[in-house]
Chain A
Amino acid sequence: DAKTTQPPSMDCAEGRAANLPCNHSTISGNEYVYWYRQIHSQGPQYIIHGLKNNETNEMASLIITEDRKSSTLILPHATLRDTAVYYCSVEETSGSRLTFGEGTQLTVNP
Chain B
Amino acid sequence: EAGVVQSPRYKIIEKKQPVAFWCNPISGHNTLYWYRQNLGQGPELLIRYENEEAVDDSQLPKDRFSAERLKGVDSTLKIQPAELGDSAVYLCASSLDRRVGIQYFGAGTRLSVL
Q: Which residues of A contact B (CB under 8 A)?
A: 32, 34, 41-46, 49, 87, 89, 91, 94-98, 100-103
Contact = CB atoms under 8 A, between A and B. Distances in A.
Contacts of A97: 45, 48, 56
**Interface range on chain B (Cβ under 8 Å from partner):** 20 to 34
| Interface majority SS (helix, strand, loop, mixed), chain A | loop
Contacts of B42: 87, 89, 100-103
B26 interface: no
Main secondary structure of the interface of B (DSSP, over half): loop
B109 to A, nearest CB: 11
A43 B93 contact: yes
B65 interface: no
B105 A41 contact: no
B56 A100 contact: no
Contacts of A95: 98-99, 101
B101 A100 contact: no
